[in-house]
Structure 1
Amino acid sequence: MIRKETVYRIGRIGKPHGVDGEVSFHFDDDVFDRTDAEYLILDVDGILVPFFMDEYRFKNDETALVKFCDFTTQEQARQLTGAEVYFPREHAEADDGQLSWAQIVGFSVRDAETGKVVGEIHSVDDSTINTLFELVTPEGDDLLIPATDELISDINTEERIIEMNLPEGLLSL
């Protein structure tokens, strides 16, 4: 059984494309193309299931058209519409040693000075020039932290912790 903590979300399945079982795949991370991925993991009714790919091709920078093994009709492909797509962390980390923004969702952020956990990363906003970690604090509050190399002092992928040198007063904003 595939456990949620061993994978991370990279996108979702869109509508069927054509009549031969191909689907559109809207992705946030193209790790499946950078590694020798034979399969993607889909959330089907709350269960993480591997689906092996026959082939895929890019439609644009955010969408690929994927043909899964044994999916030969539009009706079969339609059953996957809206499914969240995940990728194994172990394969992604072997990619090039660099973590993508999608991979760090779920990591905890710890203040390097105090050692206190500030919150858990729920998403990364990279829509502007200043990328932000969107955190949820242990108290349940939302918090935005700049995601800059100057503030990050260490990343522990095994413990899933990012240690940051946070400027004084940032947490009280």
Structure 2
Amino acid sequence: MTKNDCYQVGHITKTHGVSGELVLFLDVDEPSEYDDLESILLEVKGELIPYFIESIAIVKGSRAIVAFEDIDTIEQAERLLNCGAFLPLDELPPITDETRFYFHEIVGYRVVDANEGELGIVQGVYAMNAQDLIAMDYQGKEVLIPINSDIVRTVDRTNSKLNVTLPDGLLAIYMEEDNKQQPDVHGDEDDSDED
């Protein structure tokens, strides 16, 4: 199983105690939905390895204390620090609400603005601390669209379409930036004419 077949639920942040338990940070909307996991995939040295869970307890917000089978010492646990934690995509609960979506599911969707019409294709999503962003290919350029309910209105799963209302001037900013970055090929000639 590869990362393309999975979604990340979090990562191991630190050890807990001396008998091999670990703290798993759950980077999900509802951590409590993961309190009965039987196994999880950890990314160890670039490979996803299945680990069977002896016990898991959600302790504070998004933190869980996890005990894995065959991880009985702090030394064994330390080898798993900072490993990403993944589950297969087919274990994701389906979303029926047209205002919510999983980031991975909208890749390849067409972006349709309420005012401008069809704009481009979703290339990916950047999960950032301050603001999650949709990366859209627009006229060969990457345009970043903030994810919030005022901008991203609905998801049309039947037609692979993301309905948005972009803020005024957002597209123009990206087009202007591109124009500013292009070198002025005739700049030297113009300067010599002025003398």
TM-score (norm. length: structure 1):
0.75
**Kindly tell me: are residues 103 and 22 of structure 1, through their superposed partners in 2, closer, same or farther at Cα, counting changes over 3 Å?**
farther
The CA deviation string for residues 110-162 of structure 1, in whole angstroms up to 9 with x for no partner, is 3223162154212165x5xxxx54133445746132431773332539x9x55
1:143 alignment counterpart: 144
Matches of 1:136 and 1:53 in 2, distance apart?
Answer: 36
Name the structure, 1 or 2, with higher relative contact order (CA <8 Å, separation 6+): 1
The CA deviation string for residues 47-84 of structure 1, in whole angstroms up to 9 with x for no partner, is 11111110011221021110011111111111101101
Tell me, yes or no, if the aligned pair for 1:106 and 1:121 is still in contact at 8 Å. no
**Kindly tell me: are residues 148 and 118 of structure 1, through their superposed partners in 2, closer, same or farther at Cα, counting changes over 3 Å?**
same
Single out whichever of 115-124 and 61-70 deviates more from structure 2: 115-124
Larger C-alpha radius of gyration, 1 or 2? 2
Residue aligned with 2:127, SS: strand
1:117 aligns with 2:125: no
**If each structure's helix is expressed as a fraction of its own residues, which one has the higher value?**
2
1:4 alignment counterpart: 3
1:153 alignment counterpart: 154
Equivalent residue pairs, number: 163
Residue aligned with 1:114, SS: strand
1:72 alignment counterpart: 72
TM-score (norm. length: structure 2):
0.67
The CA deviation string for residues 18-57 of structure 1, in whole angstroms up to 9 with x for no partner, is 1111001112116674255311111011111111110011
Runs (5+) with no aligned partner, structure 1: none
Matches of 1:102 and 1:67 in 2, distance apart?
Answer: 31
Runs (5+) with no aligned partner, structure 2: 174-195
Matches of 1:140 and 1:7 in 2, distance apart?
Answer: 28
One-letter amino acid of the counterpart of residue 136, structure 1: A
**RMSD over aligned Cα, in angstroms?**
3.2
1:28 alignment counterpart: 27
1:170 alignment counterpart: 170
